[in-house]
Structure formats: C-alpha cells, structure tokens
Amino acid sequence: MTGLTGLTGGRAFVLPLKDSDAILAALRRALADAPPQERPGLERAVALVERPSRPSAC
C-alpha cells in the first residue's frame, strides 16, 4: 500500500473493525455526496468493509 507510512515492501496488516455496519453506513453516505476525486478512495473503503472476514488460523 503506498501512501501510508511504513506499509511498503509487500507487508499487509489487518485492522479489526467494531461496529462495521455503522462504518459502512457512514462510508456510503460520504460516497453519495463525494466529489469525483474522492470517489475512488471511498469506493475502495466500502469494498474493504463489505468484504467478509476470513477465519483465523489460530
């Protein structure tokens, strides 16, 4: 991921979200009113929050 400090070199991270339904609703509201230059980032954020979580290997 470029643009975020320390997230280069192919490393990935997981950020667990509490209340993902509320986060998704807020992202969709923001997307509805977003100017064209903000839409790609908001669309990506919506896709990430909608994505089903994978069960952990533990």
Is there a domain that residue 42 lies in? yes
Are residues 20 and 49 in contact, defined by beta-carbon separation less than 8 angstroms? yes
Domain assignment present for residue 46? The answer is yes
| CA–CA separation, 27 and 18 (whole Å) | 15
Instruction: Give the pLDDT confidence of 3-57 residue by residue, as tens digits.
Output: 455 555 666 666 676 788 898 999 999 999 999 999 999 999 999 888 876 655 5
Is 57 a domain residue?
A: no
* Residue 37 backbone phi and psi in degrees, to 5: -70, -20
56 domain residue, yes or no: no
Count the neighbouring beta carbons within 10 Å of the beta carbon of residue 22.
10
In a domain, 34, yes or no: yes
Q: pTM of the predicted model, to two decimals?
A: 0.62
Please report which confidence band the pLDDT of residue 1 belongs to, taking 50, 70 and 90 as the band edges. very low
Q: What is the pLDDT of residues 33-43, one digit of tens each?
A: 999 999 999 99
Q: What is the residue range of 45's domain?
A: 20-50
Distance CA 15, CA 13 (A): 7
The pair of three-digit structure tokens given for residue 33, joined into one six-digit string: 């009113």
The domain total for the chain is 1
